[in-house]
Structure 1
Amino acid sequence: MTDQEKGGAGAAASFPLRGEARSSSCGSRLELGMGTGVDDRVERLGLRVQACAIGQASAAVFAEAARGRTLEEICLAAQEMQAWVTGGGPHPDWPGLDLIAAAREYPARHGAMLLAWKAAEHAMAEHGRRC
């Protein structure tokens, strides 16, 4: 993915929308930056991931499909992810989730699974956009 920055202390710092999330159960952290076009579609994405394998895999699944989506679509996906991970909702329409689906059986991993979506929600909230 050519538009995705990885690693480094400032990977998300140069983007207009920035957010972070931390899993209280495992301590995994993710910083995210997004740049959008005039139609509110994600054009650029930067991630700094310090997470367990589930958190890293989930961040990769998020990053692979986030580009080209609107902020509204990402908000909806975040809500669907929360419901799906905790067992109260159907499988969200997000490519690649089958790669991390087995982790749903382990509640201690739910926070890591949701990191990227929570960071995206935080980024939008910091700019007055509520999901």
Structure 2
Amino acid sequence: MADSDMIKLYSGRILELAASIPLTTRLTDPDATVRKRSPLCGSTVTVDMTVQGGVVAAFGQDVKACALGQAAAAVVGGNIVGRSEQEVRNAQQQLRAMLKDAGPVPEAPFDGFEVLEPARDYKNRHASIMLTLDAAVEAFAQVRATQDAQ
């Protein structure tokens, strides 16, 4: 990767987001906990989530990722509380399409992902960017499975 490409990829806004990830305190009694790891780069994200009335009531995350994964976690952390499973799943699908298929930026409230559009060309970074949303979708599935078992 050329130096100019690195500068473009790691823009000031991405670094700002990476430095200010919200909701980084783990929950003490979550409904679900999911740990995801990117096999290519070793980035990991652990998500704790509490769901009430079908929406995220509380969210905590531990992010050990590159700046791109951290920026994605910041966008998710800033917008996930109060969101339904379908809204989170839509954001996941839209972000994946943005990265892999040059699709549009995810819709509000997750529209902050536009900062990661330059990462489209770097397929080896996609998994790290997807970690937090993938973990949140899996956490919703865990909550549903627990509720179904009761």
TM range (shorter): 0.7 to 0.9
Deviations 1:26-62 (A, max 9, x none): 1100000111222x12121100111111111110011
For normalisation by structure 1, the TM-score amounts to 0.82
Q: Which residue matches 2:72? A: 58
Q: Which of 115, 121, 133 is 1:105 aligned to?
A: 121
What's the CA shift for 1:89?
A: 3.2
Give the secondary-structure state (helix, strand or coil) at the position aligned to 1:96.
Answer: helix
Q: CA shift at 1:73, angstroms?
A: 0.9
Q: Distance in 2 between matches of 1:42 and 1:89?
A: 26
1:30-45 aligned at under 5 Å gives the runs: 30-38=45-53, 40-45=54-59
Is the 1:12–1:31 contact (alpha carbons within 8 Å) kept by the matching residues of 2?
A: no
Task: List structure 1 runs of 4+ shifted beyond 2 angstroms.
Answer: 88-91, 124-129
Structure with greater Cα Rg:
2
TM-score by length of 2: 0.72
**Percent pairwise identity:** 31
Name the CA distance, whole Å, in 2 between partners of 1:78 and 1:33.
Answer: 17
Q: Which has the higher helix share?
A: 2
What secondary structure is seen at the aligned counterpart in 2 of 1:6? coil
Q: Which amino acid aligns with 2:136?
A: A
Closer, same or farther in 2 for the Cα pair 1:26/1:56, shift >3 Å?
A: same
**Contact 2:33/2:46 (8 A) holds in 1:** yes
- Give the drift of 1:13: 5.5
Q: Is the 8 A contact 2:51 2:143 kept in 1?
A: no
RMSD of the TM alignment (CA)?
A: 1.9
- Give the letter aligned to residue 46 of structure 1: G
User: Hey, what does 1:19 align to over in structure 2?
Assistant: 34
Instruction: Give the corresponding residue for 1:71.
Output: 85
Q: What SS class does the counterpart of residue 128 from structure 2 fall into?
A: helix
Question: How far off its partner does 1:12 sit?
Answer: 4.7
CA distance in 1, matches of 2:117, 2:51: 29
Q: Which amino acid aligns with 1:23?
A: S
Q: What is the distance in 1 between the residues matched to 2:27 and 2:77? A: 13
What amino acid does structure 2 have at the position aligned with 1:6? T
